Chains A and B, each alone.
Chain A
Amino acid sequence: MSLHREPCNELGSQSLVELEKFVSALDDLQEDAHSLIVYSTLKCGFCAGADLRELYQRSQAMDQAKAAEGVRDFLERIHSVLNRIDAAPLTTIAAVHGVTFGGGFELALACDLIIADKMARFCFPELRLGLIPGFGGIPRLKRDLGNAIVRDLLLTGRSINATKAQQIGLVSQVVSEGEALRAAQATAAQIGKFDRQTALTAKHFIKPVPVDELRQEIELFCALFSRPAVQAGLKKFVESTDAQPYLP
């Protein structure tokens, strides 16, 4: 699955429709495929996260109740997509480079493996907007990592590089610049040598989808979204010309 929406694969309403279309075909794909590689064709990186400009513009164009309803609908749908990728009957690999922020980080976390080129950076910048990650980030990060680093990433909003991400167990392989997709293809070729049923049994045993926490996340996000501070945070981000707009 290649991500190729300028400027940096922001996940908005159009991307969501395309992702929904893609995941609806996943069950049928298992007859012919053993692995799914998610990667970006854009130089900037894997994915910069949710399309905050669209979110801001849409929420400005409607009353607060309607905007909150729209956000909940979007979250339900993106959670459904990411849950299907998470539990896909294929081995899923995120081959990442460059910016892997927010929703992009959450997309990668839904995959079974993350292979990163050494210029990849990971970040959960949502708190600067008065929000928490909303696409399943915290439950999935908690599933994979220790609480110390989860809290560090979440509460500071700092970004980490691929080497650090590998040290903490987030990334399984770090490769040279521009080599993530090739490494993912080689990994997929190895994975394809094993019996599919056995591989799927192992995957579902070791990687349960944290359903209850994911539901809780939607509720917490929606509760936070209705506060005026969020609109102010979105406005500041959209209008920002700072070198580090992901920091408060």
Chain B
Amino acid sequence: METAEKTLEEILTLAAAHFKVAREKLSPDEDFFKALGIDSLQTLDLLTKLENHFRVELPDYELQGVTDFRTLATKIQSRL
């Protein structure tokens, strides 16, 4: 079972790689829409990447209002 911190780190690494942003520029409590500069279609891409990576199902409505990486990690952790 992955720890919450490991999940968070994996999200940050994955997001940085997919959206071509330097990993060190992303921090756990940052607004990922702003940090990654993503629109609604890219948000879906991120969701799919995360589901595929962690092999979980993340209903969109559970992520509504989630804007920072740490909360996102908590949501994913609850489905691992």
Task: Tell me the bound Cα distance from A118 to B39 in angstroms.
Answer: 20
> How distant is A156 from chain B, measured CB to nearest CB, in Å?
7
Q: Shortest Cβ distance from A207 into chain B, in angstroms?
A: 28
From known contacts A156-B59, A164-B57, A247-B60, infer whether A118 and B40 are also in contact, taking CB-CB under 8 Å.
no
B45 interface contact, C-beta 8 A: yes
How many A-B Cβ pairs are below 8 Å? 55
**Nearest CB to that of B46 among chain A residues?**
A243
Task: Tell whether B3 is near chain A: CB-to-CB under 8 Å.
Answer: no
Check A159 against B44 for contact (C-beta < 8 Å).
yes
Known: A118-B52, A163-B52. A156 touches B61 (CB 8 A): yes
The answer to whether B60 touches A119 (Cβ under 8 A) is: no
For residue A139, CB closer than 8 A to chain B, the reply is: no
Q: What are the interface flags for B7-45 relative to A under an 8 Å C-beta threshold, 1 for contact and 0 otherwise?
A: 000000000000000000000000001000011110111
Nearest-Cβ distance from residue A15 to partner chain B, whole angstroms? 19
Given the complex, which residues of B lie within 8 Å of A121, measured CB to CB? 44, 47-48
Given contacts A44-B41, A244-B40, 10 further A-B contacts (CB under 8 A): A98-B44, A99-B41, A118-B52, A119-B49, A156-B59, A242-B40, A243-B33, A243-B40, A244-B60, A247-B60
B residues bordering A, Cβ < 8 Å? 33, 38-41, 43-45, 47-49, 51-52, 57, 59-61, 63-64
Give A contacts to B, CB under 8 Å: 8, 44-45, 98-99, 118-121, 123, 156-164, 242-247
